[in-house]
Amino acid sequence: MTEHTPGYLIGNFTVTDPALMAEYGQKATPLVQAYGGEVTLTVSGLTPLEGQAHSTLVVIRFPNFAQAEAFYHDPAYGPVKELRLKATTGGFLALIPGLPA
């Protein structure tokens, strides 16, 4: 894994409070952008072909894994993360390294 290998934050959950989730999005977006991240995929109403999944899938791409980790662990993200936790149920959030370019 190099500094040129992208890092991804992937979330799969069910939104239970759309208004609170919208507030989360407004507050999280500037933090994501500060770390070079961009939302590459947001799907509501996901229909899995196999297995079980929650209805919302989000993929955020960062320039590298270190930037993805730094975003998630930024103290400024803590209170924003609480909004997401209150606005959703189930699922997961994961940081993963991408494939080398």
- In whole angstroms, give the CA distance from residue 51 to residue 39: 25
Position 4 confidence tier, pLDDT thresholds 50, 70, 90: confident
Position 100 confidence tier, pLDDT thresholds 50, 70, 90: confident
pLDDT, average across residues 38-49 = 93
* Model pLDDT for residues 62-91, shown as the tens digit of each residue: 999 999 999 999 999 999 999 999 999 998
* Model pLDDT for residues 13-22, shown as the tens digit of each residue: 999 999 999 9
Q: Given this model, what pLDDT does residue 98 score? A: 92
Position 99 confidence tier, pLDDT thresholds 50, 70, 90: confident
Confidence check: pLDDT of 1 > 60:
no
Residues 6+ apart with CB under 8 A from 44: 15, 55, 56
